């Protein structure tokens, strides 16, 4: 007899993963351009792989310090100092964890009491809502404005006595939206005014095609500002499972307890790989980012020949495409696109009700394939 906890009934399976599985099956019968998966199509750079191998051969195969290998924490702090002029004490304000996703889960476990509300801007990454629910919190989604921009005008009126946290993702998966410094200043000011935690998930911070401001740069609100980052997207290291949390010492001390009792530490070899990623040449990061930008430009330029419309992303490797012209139900959009054009995408609805007229395209296919995608979309 199965006696699952009640909270499990609140969770939905990830639609992007379900779609990826469907594509795998269909691909045997037809040529599908798969734009579903949130994973770089590049392999991890060679020097990073070599560093992991070296760590294995040198016997660095045991548990590490729970918060992470000291050199890696120092490298992360150094990186934030150089890149963002932000100061973090490596030993007390940096926690290395098995992926940013796990880090976000720790934050929900650390801060949410039953019924506490977390404010999110639609469209947003689908796992946030589930992680909040799993910790008995309540996600409060603010519908997007036209063209999927976050509606900051509705932020203050969305705050209630139950609100505990504002969670932003910058740049945004799935829209590629980048919050401006002014917008961040406004969000931070409201967090201070209403005594809220503010979390910024910056996992795509090096895949940005304009000026970027990190929450780490707001040093005067360190008592409430938490930055989550990682290596999965920037360095094409999704399978290595390394992320980190940056926050003031009292918060890291509490979050660290959850980490100690659940993961112990992140994988030792992956941490040495991440160390090489941060301390070695950054050429591959810039190169991959340039490729994503040129794919975005290619899609942006070609979409005018189709009945669809693309919201220009300023970061990430995703783009939201307005598919209203399909005249399908919001939950059927990606299925329609798949059957009519052989293009696999994820329903915008997965990222919020206000994104129902869109699908997310993951631009993780080469130029030739994206050209083919445009060609298919231009045919009726």
Kindly tell me which residue out of 125, 177, 218, 308 binds ligand PLP, with binding defined by CB under 6 A. 125
Kindly tell me which residue out of 100, 215, 236, 299 binds ligand PLP, with binding defined by CB under 6 A. 100
**What is the C-alpha to C-alpha distance for residues 174 and 155, in angstroms, rounded to an integer?**
20
Question: Helix 268-279 to helix 46-57 angle, to the nearest 10 degrees?
Answer: 140
**Quick one: 173 or 354, whose CB is closer to ligand PLP?**
173
Is 268 a residue that touches ligand PLP (CB under 6 A)? no
Is 201 a residue that touches ligand PLP (CB under 6 A)? yes
Is 40 a residue that touches ligand PLP (CB under 6 A)? no
Q: Name, in order, each residue with C-beta under 8 angstroms of 227's C-beta and a sequence gap of 6 or more.
A: 199, 200, 202, 214, 215, 216, 245, 246, 247
Is 14 a residue that touches ligand PLP (CB under 6 A)? no
Coil vs helix vs strand at 259: helix
**What is the C-alpha to C-alpha distance for residues 129 and 318, in angstroms, rounded to an integer?**
20
**Quick one: 202 or 377, whose CB is closer to ligand PLP?**
202
Interface mask (CB under 6 A) for ligand PLP, residues 224-243, using x and -? ------x-x-----x----x
The string of DSSP letters for 185-215 reads HHHHHHHHHTT-EEEEE-TTTTSBSS----G
270-289 residues in contact with ligand PLP (CB under 6 A) are none
Kindly tell me which residue out of 64, 173, 234, 267 binds ligand PLP, with binding defined by CB under 6 A. 173
Q: Of the listed pieces 93-101, 269-277, 333-341, 372-380, which binds ligand PLP according to CB under 6 A?
A: 93-101
**What is the C-alpha to C-alpha distance for residues 363 and 175, in angstroms, rounded to an integer?**
12
Q: Of the listed pieces 20-28, 99-107, 251-259, 321-329, which binds ligand PLP according to CB under 6 A?
A: 99-107
Q: Of the listed pieces 2-10, 98-106, 157-165, 371-379, which binds ligand PLP according to CB under 6 A?
A: 98-106
3-state secondary structure 284-309: HHHHHHHHHHHHHHHHHHHHHHCCCE
Is 360 a residue that touches ligand PLP (CB under 6 A)? no
Kindly tell me which residue out of 73, 101, 164, 259 binds ligand PLP, with binding defined by CB under 6 A. 101
Sign of the torsion formed by the C-alpha atoms of 351, 353, 354 and 359: positive
Is 99 a residue that touches ligand PLP (CB under 6 A)? yes
Kindly tell me which residue out of 135, 169, 234, 271 binds ligand PLP, with binding defined by CB under 6 A. 169
**Quick one: 306 or 334, whose CB is closer to ligand PLP?**
334
What 8-state DSSP symbol labels residue 42? S
Kindly tell me which residue out of 15, 20, 34, 38 binds ligand PLP, with binding defined by CB under 6 A. 38
Give how far the C-alpha of residue 222 lies from the chain's centroid of Cα atoms, to the nearest Å. Answer: 22
**Quick one: 90 or 171, whose CB is closer to ligand PLP?**
171
**Quick one: 175 or 306, whose CB is closer to ligand PLP?**
175
Beta strand 138-142 pairing with 117-121: parallel
Q: Give burial (CB, 10 Å; 0-12/13-18/19+) of 352.
A: buried
Instruction: Evaluate whether 96 touches 106 at the Cβ level (below 8 Å).
Output: no
The footprint of ligand PLP (CB under 6 A) covers 38, 99-101, 125, 169, 173, 201, 203, 230, 232, 238, 243
């Amino acid at each position: 007899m199965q006696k699952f906890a009640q909270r499990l009934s609140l969770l939905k399976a990830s639609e992007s993963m379900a779609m990826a599985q469907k594509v795998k099956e269909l691909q045997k019968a037809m040529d599908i351009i798969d734009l579903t998966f949130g994973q770089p199509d590049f392999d991890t750079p060679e020097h990073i792989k070599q560093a992991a191998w070296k760590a294995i051969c040198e016997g660095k195969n045991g548990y590490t310090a729970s918060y992470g290998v000291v050199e890696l924490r120092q490298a992360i702090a150094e990186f934030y100092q150089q890149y963002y002029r932000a100061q973090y004490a490596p030993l007390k304000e940096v926690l290395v964890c098995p992926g940013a996703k796990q880090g976000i889960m720790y934050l929900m476990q650390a801060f949410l009491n039953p019924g506490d509300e977390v404010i999110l801007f639609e469209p947003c990454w689908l796992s946030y809502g589930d992680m909040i629910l799993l910790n008995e919190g309540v996600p409060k989604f603010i519908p997007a404005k036209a063209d999927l921009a976050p509606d900051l005008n509705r932020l203050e009126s969305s705050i209630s006595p139950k609100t505990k946290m504002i969670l932003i993702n910058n740049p945004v998966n799935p829209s590629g939206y980048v919050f401006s410094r002014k917008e961040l200043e406004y969000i931070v000011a409201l967090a201070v005014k209403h005594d809220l935690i503010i979390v910024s998930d910056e996992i795509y911070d090096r895949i940005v095609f304009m000026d970027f401001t990190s929450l780490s740069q707001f040093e005067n609100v360190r008592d409430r500002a938490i930055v989550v980052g990682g290596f999965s997207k920037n360095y094409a290291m999704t399978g290595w499972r390394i992320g980190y949390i940056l926050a003031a010492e009292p918060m890291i001390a509490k979050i660290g307890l959850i980490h100690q009792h659940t993961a112990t530490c992140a994988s030792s070899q992956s941490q040495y790989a991440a160390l090489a990623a941060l301390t070695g040449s950054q050429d591959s990061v810039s190169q991959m980012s340039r490729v994503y930008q040129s794919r975005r430009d290619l899609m942006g330029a070609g979409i005018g020949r189709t009945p669809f419309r693309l919201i220009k992303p300023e970061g990430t490797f995703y783009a939201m495409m307005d598919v209203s012209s399909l005249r399908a139900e919001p939950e059927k959009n990606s299925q329609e696109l798949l059957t009519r054009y052989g293009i696999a995408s994820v329903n915008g609805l997965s990222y919020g009700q206000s994104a129902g007229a869109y699908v997310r395209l993951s631009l993780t296919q080469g130029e030739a394939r994206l050209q083919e995608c445009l060609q298919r979309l231009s045919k009726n």
